């Protein structure tokens, strides 16, 4: 695939389809906690952050590949956390798993209880067993008592008129999936459709977080962040 191909327009997304954002006037902060060995998953993290920003919330990119250098305060303070890992050997990467295990103290304290959560992954193969990575991320979030947000997107590229330029071309509902050819760098892959899918998901996450937090405030519940 040429670079020009990655810049082709993405089919299937109409801004007017977006759910209006209900909120209590406060800009919410969503952390994107991710690992990326070679930069491809970073592209997705940045696309999700862009979508979050587009929707009027604050996005905080938090690399977690080095467990000794994680910005734990940012994760604790965030209203929601989106977890992202490349798929390595059909599961989250080793560094991401080290991060997961390093959260056990927070699990004990219920530090992230009732925050919203979501996930994304990227791998070289179309399937590549990416679903297992998303299952891992969602179970991890559930262990923390977090509430999981799906992609909420119709599957793309699943009919005779479909193409790899479709939004959600890999047809994922549990979390955002992307695919990066093994022989191309993050300047080229994942392709534009996957980047746009991640961005639209960021908008959805911002809307969900605004709704969730406004509800918590209305119910007089203590701040979740
Ligand atoms: C150790 C290792 C294991 C991998 N396992 C898989 C796999 O199970 N399925 C797959 O489709 N790709 C696999 N890949 C390819 C990566 O998922 C792919 O190159 C991805 O774009 C890397 O993302 P990153 O640049 O954010 O690290 C693997 C790569 C590595 C280095």
Residue range 74-96: mean pLDDT, rounded: 98
Assign 18 a pLDDT band (cuts: 50, 70, 90): very low
Atom of ligand 1 lying closest to residue 190 CA? 21
pLDDT tens per residue, range 145-165: 999 999 999 999 999 999 999
Among 86, 177, 179, 183, the mutation site with the greatest number of ligand 1 atoms within 8 A of its Cβ is 86
pLDDT tens per residue, range 155-209: 999 999 999 999 999 999 999 999 999 999 999 999 999 999 999 999 999 999 9
Report d(CA 136, CA 16) in Å as an integer: 33
pLDDT tens per residue, range 32-60: 999 999 999 999 999 999 999 999 999 99
Among 87, 126, 178, the mutation site with the greatest number of ligand 1 atoms within 8 A of its Cβ is 87
Contacts of residue 149, Cβ cutoff 8 Å, sequence gap at least 6: 80, 116, 117, 118, 204, 205, 208
> 23 C-alpha to center of ligand 1: Å?
38
Report d(CA 153, CA 148) in Å as an integer: 15
pLDDT tens per residue, range 98-120: 999 999 999 999 999 999 999 99
Looking up tokens 């937090």, which residue turns up? 213
Report d(CA 151, CA 148) in Å as an integer: 10
Assign 224 a pLDDT band (cuts: 50, 70, 90): low
What pTM was estimated for this model as a whole? 0.92
> 105 C-alpha to center of ligand 1: Å?
29
Query: What is the reported pLDDT for 210?
Result: 96
> 31 C-alpha to center of ligand 1: Å?
23
For the chain, the structural domain boundaries read 25-218
Q: Which of 82, 90, 218 is nearest to 150 (CA)?
A: 82
β-pairing, 91-92 vs 80-88, is antiparallel
For residue 60, list its beta bridge partners: 31
Side-chain half-sphere exposure of 97, counting CA atoms within 13 A: 10
Assign 218 a pLDDT band (cuts: 50, 70, 90): confident
Assign 22 a pLDDT band (cuts: 50, 70, 90): low
Query: What is the reported pLDDT for 124?
Result: 98
Report d(CA 80, CA 201) in Å as an integer: 14
What does the angle CA 16 – CA 21 – CA 27 come to, to the nearest 5 degrees?
135
Looking up tokens 């390093």, which residue turns up? 102
Pocket residues: Cβ below 6 A from ligand 1 = 36-41, 86-90, 122-125, 128-129, 180, 182
Query: What is the reported pLDDT for 123?
Result: 98
| DSSP H/E element including 3 | helix 3-6
Top CATH class, 25-218: alpha beta
Q: Which of 59, 116, 119 is nearest to 83 (CA)?
A: 119
Residue 90 burial (CB < 10 Å; 0-12/13-18/19+)?
middle
Residue 223 has pLDDT above 90, yes or no: no
Residue with CA closest to ligand 1 atom 1: 88
> 147 C-alpha to center of ligand 1: Å?
27
Query: What is the reported pLDDT for 1?
Result: 33
> 172 C-alpha to center of ligand 1: Å?
18
What whole-number percentage of the chain has pLDDT above 90?
83
Atom of ligand 1 lying closest to residue 41 CA? 26
Atom of ligand 1 lying closest to residue 37 CA? 27
Whether residue 133 is preceded by a cis peptide bond, meaning omega within 30 degrees of 0, is no
Residue with CA closest to ligand 1 atom 4: 88
């Amino acid at each position: 695939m040429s670079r020009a191909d990655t810049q082709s327009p993405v089919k299937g997304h109409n801004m007017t389809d977006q759910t209006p954002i209900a909120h209590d006037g406060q800009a919410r902060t969503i952390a994107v906690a991710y690992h990326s060995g070679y930069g491809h998953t970073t592209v997705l993290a940045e696309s999700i952050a862009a979508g979050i920003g587009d929707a009027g919330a604050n996005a905080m990119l938090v690399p977690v590949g080095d467990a000794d250098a994680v910005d734990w305060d940012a994760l604790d303070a965030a209203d929601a956390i989106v977890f992202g890992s490349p798929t390595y050997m059909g599961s989250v990467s080793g560094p991401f798993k080290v991060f997961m295990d390093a959260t056990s103290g927070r699990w004990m304290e219920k530090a992230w209880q009732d925050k919203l959560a979501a996930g994304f992954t990227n791998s070289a193969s179309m399937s590549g067993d990416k679903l297992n990575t998303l299952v891992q991320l969602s179970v991890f979030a559930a262990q923390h008592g977090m509430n999981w947000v799906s992609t909420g997107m119709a599957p793309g590229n699943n009919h005779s008129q479909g193409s790899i330029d479709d939004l959600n071309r890999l047809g994922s509902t549990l979390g955002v999936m992307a695919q990066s050819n093994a022989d191309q760098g993050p300047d080229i892959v994942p392709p534009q459709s996957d980047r746009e899918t991640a961005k639209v998901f960021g908008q959805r996450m911002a809307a969900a977080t605004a709704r969730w937090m406004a509800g918590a405030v209305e119910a007089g519940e203590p701040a979740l962040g």
